[in-house]
Amino acid sequence: MANPSNPNSQPAPDANESFEDILTQYEQSHKRKAPDGNKQLEGTVVAVSAESVFVDIGYKTEGILPLANFQGAGETVKVGDKFPVSVKGRDPEGYYELSRLKVELPKDWSALEKAFAEKTIILGTITAVVKGGLSVDVGVRAFMPSSRSGERDAKLMEKMVGEQIRCRIIKLDVADEDVVVDRRVVAEEEERAGKERRYIEIEEGATLSGNIRSLADYGAFVDLGGVDALLHVSDMSWGRVGKPADVLTVGQQVEVKVLKVDAEKHRISVGLKQLQKHPWDAVPDKYIVGERVTGTVTRVVEFGAFVELEPGIEGLIHLSEMSWGKKVKKAGDVIKPGETVEALILGVSLGERRISLGLKQALGDPWANAAQKFGAGTVIEGPVTSITKFGAFVQLAEGIEGMVHVSEISAEKRIEHPQDVLKLGQIVKAQVLELDMEKRQLRLSMKQLIPTGLDEYIAEHKAGDVVTGRLLEESGDRARVELGEGLYATCRIVAAAATAEEAKPETKVDMSSISAMLNAKWKGGATTSAAKPEAAHAGQIRSFRIVKLDASAKKIELELA
């Protein structure tokens, strides 16, 4: 017998009673706790499985919520969480099916009118598929158009029969007993509400898991549990990514870092590379000034070219560092995108994250041994690379050019414009006049290689020969001597010249380089042994001994004979 003082006591079960009878008696004895769909209850999470969340609602049996409802709203749920729920019914296993929204089940037309006026959400049960939609029991028979069911496929709508749904009355005519309900609008509102909560919950700097929903040329959209975030192509990798499809696929699960959240505009930016170690952290130990590196040209711009040394690390080759030769006007004339090049590290700026590279330095400095190869007097041959108003530039070797001044082009006539006698690409011979290693400049002369009277004179004489000439002017212990028309030499004048030996051997008369008067005077031969040599002075015609002949420098040095 049941204990009347204890309302929860139960009569002792009869041995002939079935389990079903016992369960019926139990439920009847607990009618005071019967679920009420109109009543809002506070639930406490007691367990979470792979698919469901179990909630204690104060009844003997727990309530149940699909875990997907929380994941779809971007929420996490754990044991001990509390939130309001309402009971929708019971599932085949006996658990109470719960809803987190307060949902009413209308009981009469007045309740329907109130729900319609206040646009509240009500419960309904789909009873059949009819023409154009579904029949729904909301206390009275209602119609739900297919377009407002949230499903487009006829087979899926058939599976909805018997399902309890949340909907809103969009048309109500009591006189005609015409009720039209909308399930889709409720689902859309709940989706929007879930997204709003998600935009507020997601924090900048957080690391989240998501799925790649779609790919575009500029990036990928990542589903973060009900809201989409943009993963820009520049934030996929520290290296250069040509297109998102090269590194990601639709449906792929990824971990991303939240870079920026704009809840008002519903925009979230995320990054993949931000969860990876920055390649510049290792730059100080890997890239040393003066070392050679190899990379791929990624971009050619107006001022130079960028070279990828490794993913996330690029160096710049400036136009001025591309060639030792003539000035490069366009980087594309020297290197192309995709080309593999070897360069020298010229500088590393960790603060600005910049590496300066030199292409020409990797080829070797052609000026390093220029002094040995192109000393003064060296004869060179090369093409004319450029022509200016004041002269022409001739290439001596790769990266080395010399300049022929307009005055050094011809000895026969005055040249006004170099282009009158030279053209680009023309192969010419020239002699090095001067080499300036500091300024990296070479002065050349073409006219020095054109035979002249001086060349012939030097070819016909040798050191020690005694020749005749006229002193022109003196400067200290040096004097300029005219040996013939347009032929000049230098002579050292010493004080001892005035006390020279009285007797001198018969001198050789240079008939080709003195006037008829000088020939007649000197033709008689030698002076008398008793005569003393006359002191040297300008205008004097004297005998000289050749000390040195320099064909390359076109110089003759004399001394008094």
Mean pLDDT of 399-413: 85
pLDDT band at 239 (very low <50, low <70, confident <90, very high): confident
Specify the pairing of strand 96-99 against strand 63-66: parallel
Please give the C-alpha separations between residue 314 and each of 7, 306, 317, 402, in angstroms, as whole numbers.
82, 6, 10, 36
Alpha carbon distance 65, 53 (integer Å): 5
Residues 6+ away with beta carbon under 8 Å from 146: 132, 133, 134, 152, 157
pLDDT tens-digit series, residues 142-184 = 999 999 988 888 888 888 888 888 899 999 988 888 899 999 9
Give the three-state DSSP class for 117: helix
The answer to whether the CB of 533 falls within 8 A of the CB of 541 is: no
The answer to whether the CB of 179 falls within 8 A of the CB of 138 is: yes
Name which residue leads in pLDDT, 224 or 17. Answer: 224
In 437-477, the DSSP E strands lie at 441-445, 466-475
Residues 6+ away with beta carbon under 8 Å from 486: 452, 453, 454
pLDDT band at 325 (very low <50, low <70, confident <90, very high): low
Name which residue leads in pLDDT, 274 or 74. Answer: 274
Residue 531 pLDDT greater than 80, yes or no: no
Give the residue from 449, 445, 423 showing the smallest Cα distance to 433: 445
pLDDT of residue 80: 92
Q: What is the mean pLDDT of the chain?
A: 81
| Percent of the chain clearing pLDDT 90 (strictly above) | 31
pLDDT of residue 454: 79
pLDDT of residue 444: 93
pLDDT of residue 229: 92
pLDDT band at 356 (very low <50, low <70, confident <90, very high): very high
pLDDT of residue 339: 92
Query: Are domains 35-99 and 109-189 of this chain identical in fold?
Result: yes
Residue 519 pLDDT greater than 60, yes or no: no
- The two tokens of residue 414 are 């005055």
Would you mind telling me the total number of residues written for the chain in this entry? 561
Residue 53 pLDDT greater than 50, yes or no: yes
Tell me the residue type at 372. Q
Mean pLDDT of 469-475: 86
- Stated as kind and residue range, the H or E segment containing 221 is strand 219-223
Mean pLDDT of 426-433: 92
Which range in 19-28, 65-74, 353-362, 531-540 is most confidently predicted, on average pLDDT?
353-362
The string of DSSP letters for 41-78 reads: EEEEEEEE-SSEEEEE-SSSS-EEEEHHHHHHTT----
Angle at 421 between CA 440 and CA 387, to 5 degrees: 35
- The two tokens of residue 264 are 């008002």
285 Rama class: left (phi>0) / alpha (psi -120 to 50) / beta = alpha
Per CATH, the number for 109-189 is 2.40.50.140
Alpha carbon distance 488, 555 (integer Å): 8
Residue 515 pLDDT greater than 60, yes or no: no
pLDDT band at 41 (very low <50, low <70, confident <90, very high): confident
Map out the domains of the chain as residue ranges. Answer: 1-31, 35-99, 109-189, 202-275, 279-362, 370-449, 453-560
Per CATH, the number for 279-362 is 2.40.50.140
* Domain 453-560, CATH number (from 2.40.50.140, 2.40.50.100, 1.20.140.10, 3.20.20.70): 2.40.50.140
Cα four-point dihedral sign 262, 267, 268, 269: negative
- The two tokens of residue 417 are 């414009």
DSSP 239: S
Per CATH, the number for 35-99 is 2.40.50.140
Alpha carbon distance 68, 63 (integer Å): 16
Give the residue from 138, 162, 127, 165 showing the smallest Cα distance to 149: 165
> Residue 387: how many CB atoms within 10 A of its CB?
17
What's the half-sphere exposure (Cβ side, CA atoms, 13 Å) at 143?
12
Residue 438 pLDDT greater than 90, yes or no: no
The answer to whether the CB of 210 falls within 8 A of the CB of 256 is: yes
Q: How far is CA 16 from the centre of its chain?
A: 85
Mean pLDDT of 389-407: 89
Burial annotation 403-440 (CB, 10 A radius, 16+ → b, else e): bbbbebbeeeeebeebeeebeeeeebebbbbebeeeee
Mean pLDDT of 238-243: 84
CATH fold group of domain 202-275 = OB fold (Dihydrolipoamide Acetyltransferase, E2P) (2.40.50)
Residue 347 pLDDT greater than 70, yes or no: yes
- Dihedral in degrees, nearest 10, Cα atoms 334, 338, 343, 347: 100
Residue 272 pLDDT greater than 60, yes or no: yes
Residues facing residue 87 across a β-bridge: 98
Alpha carbon distance 210, 213 (integer Å): 9
Per CATH, the number for 370-449 is 2.40.50.140
